[in-house]
């Protein structure tokens, strides 16, 4: 096998465990995919890397030639989410604090009696068979 035919390392990872990766070759064939990371070896060539988190999708083209390969770790980008979660484009500190306070009030109204989101502030009751 000549040096130009040797598989080249391709390593991608994200700080977001739910980020989806897809790698497509010049023949439009998906060569690999992964959730949170991709660690593979591919022949030299041009590849399209698709990264998806929530409804947001980003793509890039990489040209892989014989050598050390392509490594990109810690990939992240903000995406919208229904809840004010860290790392999302809808995250604001004031919203997070309000969500935390509301969650604490739902689970403990201050009187030590557990509550749940469906009880609308009334103490939880458990029914046994």
- Per-residue pLDDT tens for 103-121? 666 555 556 565 555 555 5
**What is the rounded distance in angstroms from the CA atom of residue 125 to the CA atom of residue 33?**
46
Instruction: Tell me the helix, strand and coil percentages in the chain, rounded to 5.
Output: 15, 40, 45
Backbone phi, psi, residue 101, to 5°: -60, -45
User: Which pLDDT score is estimated for 91?
Assistant: 64
With beta carbons less than 8 A apart as the criterion, state whether 39 and 22 touch.
no
Q: What is the pTM of this model?
A: 0.62
- Per-residue pLDDT tens for 21-39? 999 999 999 999 999 999 9
- Average pLDDT of the chain is 79
User: Which pLDDT score is estimated for 106?
Assistant: 59
């Amino acid at each position: 096998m000549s040096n130009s035919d040797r598989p080249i390392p391709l390593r991608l990872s994200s700080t977001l465990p739910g980020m989806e990766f897809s790698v497509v070759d010049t023949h439009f064939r998906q060569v690999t995919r992964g959730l949170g990371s991709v660690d593979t070896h591919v022949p030299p060539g041009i590849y399209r890397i698709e990264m998806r988190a929530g409804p947001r999708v980003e793509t890039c083209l990489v040209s892989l030639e014989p050598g050390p390969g392509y490594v990109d770790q810690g990939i992240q980008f903000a995406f919208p989410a229904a809840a004010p979660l860290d790392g999302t484009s809808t995250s604001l500190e004031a919203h997070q604090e309000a969500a935390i306070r509301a969650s604490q009030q739902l689970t403990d109204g201050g009187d030590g009696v557990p509550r749940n989101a469906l009880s609308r502030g009334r103490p939880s009751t458990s029914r046994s068979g």
